[in-house]
Structure 1
Amino acid sequence: MTKFFKDEKKRPIIIGFWSSQSSQQFFLQIKVAKDFLSNSFYWKLSTNTPDVSDCLLTVINCRKTSSYLIYTLACNGKKILHSTNWYIVLEYNNIHSDRPLKIEVEDTSLLMKAKLFPDGYSRRLNLSHKKVIYPSLNTSMKFGIIQRQITKFEEKNFLTKAKLMYLTVLPFLPFINQINIWLFFEKNAVSAHENAFIVYKQMRKKFPRRKVFYVITDGAKEKVDLNDDHILILGTKKYYCILFLSRVLLSSDTRYHVLGDSQFHRSLLVQKTSKKVHIFLQHGMNGIKKVPMFHNGHGQIDYLVAASEWESELFQNQWHYSKKKIIVSGLPRWDMLENNVPKLLSQKTVKILIMPTWRDQFVNMSNNDFLQTDFVLSYQDMFSNSEFIDMLHKFKAEVIFVLHPKMKQFEQILEKLFSVQVRDIDQVNEFLSDSAILITDYSSIAWDMAYINKPVIYFQYDQENFKRKYGSYLTINELPGYVSTDIDDVVSLIYTVLSSNRRLESQDSEKFFTWHDKNNTSRLITKLVTMDKKFNVHRRSYLTRKLMMQLKQRFIRHF
């Protein structure tokens, strides 16, 4: 995006946003210097979502003052339903080029900042099918427009219940550190098979008098023992009371998954949740894919668990966390895994686990577009490969195909296309123990198999694109397994493992792991209990902390 306005005073400034429910339109008001452009130009909304076109904004008024032009722009909300995040673009003709230039308009007036900083969601435009459009400021104070579906727990009855429970527990909030409630949860609070649930169960056994609770949605409650009165059903009065009074959040995902199908606006719940101490128990070991959103400085993670001394070094050198914020223990779910490859290969049916990772370009993608992706075409080549089919018959091999939870919408399409049953990720620990080999691309599940010395093959059909977009903390040669971009090579490698019962040459992974035992959970619990007194809630919300950090950095750079 072109940076054009070197003179700060001449940059377009967003000074207003409002909407009309009757016309289903939203309006923007932008102030620009009179002499900012001399040729023709257009106001548009743009998005980074692939294959989604810009949306032209309609100029309905232009008012002149002594120094400025104030444009009033309009857009029908139904025109931006194909992407979640939009930003304003000024597009103008360039006399030195045939291609128009684009400038992102992201600055707002101080008055607009004051209005949007608490919660831009209050200025939302409600559309049909529970969709909303509203203005937002990100943590860099840049303006954007968000379009999304209202989530279940954002509906009025839940928010009203939350406010009532907040008022109920208000007198006890100054004593959060003394009450000392710990909440465990997993992705969107719908599962109970990850590190969070494993640690919760062990803590309940070892420390039954401690105030530890597990959060799960009503639709997933069959996954837990409801006779345990420390199970919290999300959305209930008990849940809201204990959430507001909690001190520590322990999860295998970000802190806001304790709210269920995450709330993205700055509601009371979000602001109070952002003040809790968050201990990141990890979804899986890191290294294969860069994840800058977890790096220190984003303010979302207070303490994090490392699977090994090698990963602790990565957190210090790449994620920039201090050593005192890292708890090195091993991953609790590794205690559930078994290395029994010889036994598995001697059975009548051999299981091959295939677990590809998710790509963010699949968000809001239609079924027809999904069928044309490299992901589908590459795995279609695998399942239709004659040598792969012959090998499955020869070794009586069964394919266990597991999709990332964010790809669940494509489950039936892939089952029909590949003639394979897509399995539930909640059983992943069982699949890892029961499978003789893993085929993945960039998923952290590879570390689980490497931990129990099972063969891992990385089928990286989009290797160059993935490296360019996401990057990795490791080179290809460092990965614990064998990497290939060619389907024939992958099939040959699978055949080698199944026929000779041996590990692949590049499988060596010992340097990545500190322990190979069943004590990861107990090690972690011991360290958590020892560190208990260090866990103090934040006085300010996440966004305030982030802004203060940025102001401090700017002050340091200035002087």
Structure 2
Amino acid sequence: MELKSKSRFSAGTTFLKVVTGRLLATVLPTKNQKPIILIGGSLGEKYEDNAAAFHQYLLENWQHTYEVHWMYDREMSYVREKGIVNAVALGSLRNYILFFQAAHTIHGHSLMYDIAPEIDKYIHWNKKTTMTHISHGIECFKKILIQPEDVPLLERCDYFNCVSEYEKRIKRDEWGIPEEKLIITGMARFDRLPYNQPPPKVKSILMMMTWRETLMDLSEEEFKASEYFKATEELLKDKLLISHLESHDVQLNVVLHPFMKRFESYFKTLSKGKSQIEFYTFDEISIREQVLQSDALITDYSSIVWDFIYMNKPVIFYTFDQEAFLKMRGSYLDLDHDLLGYKANVKEEVVEAVETIVVEGKTANPRFSEMSDYIDFTDGKNCKRLANTLFTA
């Protein structure tokens, strides 16, 4: 998955589709004469984030009331493989017709990527649809970078879902979202996770590091010389780490960020000759399945940590470039005190934490009791709460 460049969608063709879609929306009847919901996430390229979890809930509970459509990238095959009904290709004429007919749109990343390509230019043409941003994760680690094209989309959104009062304060005080647009219903995908169930043993560790904007334009040689790659390389070549994995038969699965596609060959060479380490690209694996199957997590600043904290599984934060990261992006958290897990600034501290959870068998998250400072609901009813807030208010 990577942010789609605007060249992928011809501006002239898109304009014609938007205009035609707007006109046809006023004369064409809806399929079942029901109000329409459009929902999408992960830029249409994956089906396993908050948007997908909420979409499944809607299909199971609200099809009698609404006509529900999933928006997807036509280059992806998952819609056919999963048998997703009422799926609509992003950027198609039907996409824009439904956009102007919809009673609700619900997106996890951006209206412009998840619901209707390049709609930022024409968002003021749709005044009737209720638009809701449900986020792809809890907003806390990385400060949001609001781009010029984001401004009309943020202003047009009617609701921004929050997982807690904590996240609501961020979106109100840091993003500048008006209080009346903020709703607290919890995170949809948590409904599919077992709450507070630490594993009996740590047999599988997931490693997911997030992206750095400073890596975007590097050459391959510059990337190999970057602190990001070197920190990963040094950790995965550490003899003591490998010894712990081999002697306790622990599998370490490294899932690369989607923006790493250019450099994935360099990472995959790091696992050669190491039977306990496997590399996967974002397209090769289901993140949802990895979260459920993995007993622990190694990450830096990825919001996937909240899934592991919710389940009371150990998390190791490998913050090797914390000072540079804070200067570049900033964080809503105090990275020295607020991380709910093991804090590791250098690879030796990562290995020490692995020893604690694997060798010593401490399989619960050591700061699980603090989760309630950031997450308000653990009742498995986040989707129901969100639907009731949007559709029965």
TM-score (norm 2): 0.84
Q: In 2, Cα distance between the equivalents of 1:510 and 1:313?
A: 15
Q: Which residue of 1 aligns with 2:293?
A: 434
Q: Secondary structure at the match of 1:429?
A: helix
1:366-406 CA distance string (max 9 Å, x none) = 22221111110001000111111111111111111112222
Q: Secondary structure at the match of 1:299?
A: helix
Q: Give the conservation status (yes or no) of the 8 Å contact 1:497–1:504.
A: no
The Cα shift of 1:265 comes to 8.1
The Cα shift of 1:351 comes to 0.9
Q: Give the conservation status (yes or no) of the 8 Å contact 1:246–1:276.
A: yes
Q: Which residue of 2 aligns with 1:222?
A: 78
Task: Answer yes or no: is 1:424 the counterpart of 2:264.
Answer: no
Q: Give the conservation status (yes or no) of the 8 Å contact 1:182–1:247.
A: yes
Q: Which residue of 2 aligns with 1:496?
A: 356
Q: Secondary structure at the match of 2:9?
A: helix
Residue of 47, 55, 61 corresponding to 1:206? 61
State the AA in 1 paired with 2:320: Y
Q: Give the conservation status (yes or no) of the 8 Å contact 2:205–2:298.
A: yes
The Cα shift of 1:180 comes to 4.2
Q: Which residue of 1 aligns with 2:247?
A: 394
Residue of 447, 464, 467 corresponding to 2:326? 467
Q: Which residue of 1 aligns with 2:375?
A: 513
Q: In 2, Cα distance between the equivalents of 1:386 and 1:228?
A: 45
Percent pairwise identity: 24
Relative distance call for 1:449 and 1:227 in structure 2 (3 A) is closer
The Cα shift of 1:251 comes to 0.9
Q: Which residue of 1 aligns with 2:132?
A: 279
Q: In 2, Cα distance between the equivalents of 1:410 and 1:273?
A: 40
Q: In 2, Cα distance between the equivalents of 1:155 and 1:291?
A: 27
State the AA in 2 paired with 1:452: M
Q: Give the conservation status (yes or no) of the 8 Å contact 2:107–2:115.
A: no
Paired residues in the alignment total 374
Q: Which residue of 2 aligns with 1:446?
A: 305
Q: Secondary structure at the match of 1:365?
A: coil
Q: Which residue of 2 aligns with 1:326?
A: 182
Task: Answer yes or no: is 1:384 the counterpart of 2:243.
Answer: no
Relative distance call for 1:206 and 1:302 in structure 2 (3 A) is same
The Cα shift of 1:259 comes to 5.6
Q: Which residue of 1 aligns with 2:110?
A: 254
Task: Answer yes or no: is 1:362 the counterpart of 2:215.
Answer: yes
Q: In 2, Cα distance between the equivalents of 1:296 and 1:315?
A: 14
Residue of 375, 380, 391 corresponding to 2:228? 375
1:487-534 CA distance string (max 9 Å, x none) = 101100111011223246455423222222322212211212123xxx
Alignment of 1:242-321 (within 5 A): 242-258=98-114, 263=118, 266=121, 272=125, 276-293=129-146, 299=155, 301-321=157-177
The Cα shift of 1:459 comes to 0.5
Q: Which residue of 2 aligns with 1:136?
A: none
State the AA in 1 paired with 2:379: D
TM-score (norm 1): 0.61
Bigger mean CA deviation after superposition, 281-290 or 515-524: 515-524
Which sections of structure 1, spanning at least 5 residues, go unmatched? 1-147, 532-559
Relative distance call for 1:323 and 1:197 in structure 2 (3 A) is same
Relative distance call for 1:149 and 1:451 in structure 2 (3 A) is closer
The Cα shift of 1:226 comes to 7.4
Q: In 2, Cα distance between the equivalents of 1:363 and 1:379?
A: 17
Q: Give the conservation status (yes or no) of the 8 Å contact 1:388–1:491.
A: yes
1:192-212 CA distance string (max 9 Å, x none) = 111112112211221213122
Q: Which residue of 2 aligns with 1:184?
A: 39
Q: Give the conservation status (yes or no) of the 8 Å contact 2:199–2:313.
A: no
State the AA in 2 paired with 1:450: I
Q: Give the 4+ runs in structure 1 shifted more than 6 A.
A: 294-297
Relative distance call for 1:463 and 1:302 in structure 2 (3 A) is same
Q: Secondary structure at the match of 2:349?
A: helix
Relative distance call for 1:396 and 1:340 in structure 2 (3 A) is farther
Larger Rg: 1
Alignment of 1:409-420 (within 5 A): 409-419=262-272, 420=278
The Cα shift of 1:159 comes to 5.3
The Cα shift of 1:273 comes to 6.6
1:266-325 CA distance string (max 9 Å, x none) = 4x5x66479854311111112222115299995264311111233223333433434432
Q: Which residue of 1 aligns with 2:25?
A: 169
State the AA in 2 paired with 1:372: A
Q: Secondary structure at the match of 2:210?
A: coil
Residue of 365, 386, 389 corresponding to 1:524? 386
Q: Give the conservation status (yes or no) of the 8 Å contact 1:151–1:263.
A: no
Q: Secondary structure at the match of 1:310?
A: helix
C-alpha RMSD over aligned residues: 3.1
